[in-house]
A and B are shown apart, each in its own frame.
Chain A
Amino acid sequence: MPMSPTNPPLLTRKELDAQLGGAARAWLDEALAEAEHAAAHQDTEQPGGPYAAPPWELRYAAAGRHAGLEHADSVRALLLIEARATLPALTRLYEQGTAAERRAVLLTLHRLDLGPTALPLVEDALRTNDTRLIAAAVGPYAATHLEAHNWRHAVLKCLFTGVGVEAVDGLARRARGDAELARMLGDFAAERIAAGRDVPADLTRVLELTTPGAAAPTEES
């Protein structure tokens, strides 16, 4: 399937430092210092008014134009981690964010100490038709926390919208022995065949993974 959105690996601080120019690196240093400050003063400093945002959140919005669009996900993830972003902050950043800002929240959820509390953000992303958001929503956080019904629909949605199933974290582990997922995939395949359309190669691949004894491939991360 051509050009399906995937989640490129997020760069570490060290890797970013090696790739960013001088001005961008200085900007990132200041941004991370502001995020660290916010983490240290989480209990004492509250935003003033419904639309006010702490300085590091403004940096979060501006990451694309200061560090380059190709590094925006990585920079935003580092900011969230450095700020030890809480659920209210994450929810605000997601709800008030561009698609790119929402994507970075989704890509970072599993690296923050949230338990299942951030699932509403994942479920919101899975209701969209924006393939960049869908791909980001089916990462490690969903693999751990998304309950079976919504997880099966997420896999099906990837097949519907052309998001390559390699984006689905923990696919082999969660699909193994899932008879209900197998039924849904079989019905989807039958619908495609009835319409005279091809069955996506990814569908066949996931269907094989639902076999109870299917071996977990080593590629699974």
Chain B
Amino acid sequence: MRIFDPHIHMTSRTTDDYQAMYDAGVRALVEPSFWLGQPRTSPASFFDYFDALLGWEPFRAAQYGIAHHCTLALNPKEANDPRCTPVLDALPRYLVKDSVVAVGEIGYDSMTPAEDTALATQLQLAADHGLPALVHTPHRDKLAGLHRTIDVVRESHLPPERVLLDHLNETTVKDARDSGCWAGFSIYPDTKMDEDRMIAILRIYGTEKILVNSAADWGRSDPLKTRKVGDAMLAAGFGDDDVDKVLWRNPVEFYGQSGRLQLGIATPEPLHEGNSILRGGE
């Protein structure tokens, strides 16, 4: 089973996770920039974070045979802090980088005017740079948030097939699909979606334009949830081709719209005791 996790925050994960993901079949992933748990207080903190997503993290991933790409953006939560909003002015110089395959995560957190501005601005940046957009749907007031998100997407220059609406569930999936956008589902140990509910959604809506991710980060989460969905699909009677479509071909097609996916990493570089990661702080 070959797996592409289209949304996972590896910065928060260990090398054990990389190894377990490789063993489970993960060969490619996209790491969206997001909130780090601790609020940032200046654009410089974002720039160091973006640099890590373009430098150190792909290096770590490559050591475990996994191709690493990222999406960059000012996230909705910190879009509300005027100390952070100058990040929007600097994004153009980051969006030209070879491994940036979308603008994201953008979207709504509390649905404030500042979030309206950041979302519309960044959808335009995506259109200007020939990139798709990864749009996070809010955890609170989810359905209203989805409707407002779809309205802003409709008003933007970005066609819906270049937009991925993420963190969907049973209450938001229908309207998300009717919008023409791609539909993303984050499978968590105890919130958002689980494997069985995901199977039920795949039975109703099929496998077209549907993506499944672990969204694993610094919170309670499981980087192997993509594999567990694949196993649950097979157990539920879906075929190998269905699994490959949801867990590999769909994310490749969505992020491939950037023209920047490089899936060349086939086998892991052998790790040895002199390795700079194993040596840690050295």
B276 x A98 contact (CB < 8 A): no
A160 x B282 contact (CB < 8 A): yes
Main secondary structure of the interface of A (DSSP, over half): helix
Q: Which residues of B contact A129 (CB under 8 A)?
A: 56, 276-277, 279, 282
Can you list, as one digit per residue, whether each of B141-180 has a CB less than 8 Å from chain A (1) or not (0)?
0000000000000000000000000000000000000000
Which size bracket describes the interface of B in this complex?
20 to 34
* Min CB–CB distance A130 → chain B (angstroms): 5
A160 to B280, CA, bound (A): 11
A132 to B56, CA, bound (A): 10
A124 to B215, CA, bound (A): 33
A51 x B93 contact (CB < 8 A): yes
Q: Which residues of B contact A58 (CB under 8 A)?
A: 96
A106 to B211, CA, bound (A): 39
B93: nearest chain-A partner, CB-CB: A51
Q: Which residues of B contact A161 (CB under 8 A)?
A: 274-276, 279, 282
A58 to B272, CA, bound (A): 37
Asked if A184 is at the interface of the complex by the 8 Å CB criterion, the answer is no
* Min CB–CB distance A46 → chain B (angstroms): 16
Q: Which residues of B contact A197 (CB under 8 A)?
A: 273
* Min CB–CB distance B40 → chain A (angstroms): 18
Q: Which residues of A contact B59 (CB under 8 A)?
A: 99, 130-132
Tell me whether A98 and B55 are in contact in the complex, defined as CB-CB below 8 angstroms, given that A61-B98, A129-B276 are known contacts: yes
Q: Which residues of A contact B189 (CB under 8 A)?
A: none
Which size bracket describes the interface of A in this complex?
20 to 34
A61 to B95, CA, bound (A): 10
Tell me whether A99 and B93 are in contact in the complex, defined as CB-CB below 8 angstroms, given that A65-B260, A130-B276, A161-B282 are known contacts: no
Asked if B239 is at the interface of the complex by the 8 Å CB criterion, the answer is no
* Min CB–CB distance B31 → chain A (angstroms): 14
A69 x B56 contact (CB < 8 A): no
* Min CB–CB distance A61 → chain B (angstroms): 4
Q: Which residues of A contact B269 (CB under 8 A)?
A: 2-3
- Chain A to chain B contacts (Cβ below 8 Å), 12 pairs: A2-B272, A3-B269, A51-B90, A64-B98, A65-B259, A69-B98, A99-B54, A128-B56, A130-B276, A160-B276, A162-B272, A197-B273
Interface residue ranges, A against B (CB under 8 Å): 1-3, 50-51, 53, 58, 61-65, 69, 72, 96-102, 128-132, 134, 159-162, 197, 200
